[in-house]
């Protein structure tokens, strides 16, 4: 008989590892079919995960990929939660910030209004 590996519910693990603020949010994400374990879509929050499993799930606007390293005993501080997983998410591509005053939106500055007035004088009332 093979020794069974320790496992934990996926919604509980995602909550303990601090990827979701509440266990209910984690369960809802799993139930919606947006969480994968080892490239298999999980349909129930009661699905079991254990050390070595790779989870893929959305978090905000990012897709997170993590390897489960350990199962937590409780939802502790962030430092304790970070020890539960290895982050395999590729680094997010950053776009350079636009130059100051470049493609501005909103109201023009006083200097810009003067330039506009010089080009196109205002109509008199």
For residue 70, what are the domain limits?
8-91
100 belongs to a structural domain: no
Span 78-83, average pLDDT: 95
Q: Is residue 24 part of a domain?
A: yes
pLDDT tier, 101 (very low <50, low <70, confident <90, very high otherwise): low
* Distance (Å, whole) CA 50 – CA 2: 16
**DSSP percent split of the chain into helix, strand, coil, nearest 5:** 25, 20, 55
Lowest mean per-residue pLDDT among 26-30, 33-37, 47-51, 90-94: 90-94
**For the domain that residue 26 is a member of, what is the CATH number?**
3.10.290.10
| Residues 52 and 67: beta-carbon distance below 8 Å | yes
Residue 104: what pLDDT?
65
**Which pLDDT score is estimated for 88?**
95
Q: Is residue 34 part of a domain?
A: yes
Number of domains in the chain: 1
Confidence at 97, pLDDT banded by 50, 70, 90: low
Q: Evaluate whether residue 102 is within a structural domain.
A: no
């Amino acid at each position: 008989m093979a020794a069974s590996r320790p496992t934990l519910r996926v919604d509980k693990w995602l909550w303990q590892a601090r990827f979701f603020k509440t266990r209910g949010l984690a369960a809802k994400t799993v139930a919606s079919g947006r969480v994968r374990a080892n490239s298999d879509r999980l349909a129930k929050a009661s699905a079991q995960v254990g050390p070595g499993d790779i989870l893929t799930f959305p978090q905000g606007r990012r897709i997170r990929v993590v390897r489960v390293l350990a199962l937590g005993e409780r939802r502790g501080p962030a430092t304790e939660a970070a020890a539960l997983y290895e982050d395999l998410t590729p680094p997010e591509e950053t776009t350079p910030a636009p130059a100051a005053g470049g493609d501005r939106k909103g109201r023009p500055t006083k200097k810009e209004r003067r330039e506009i007035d010089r080009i196109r004088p205002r109509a008199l009332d």
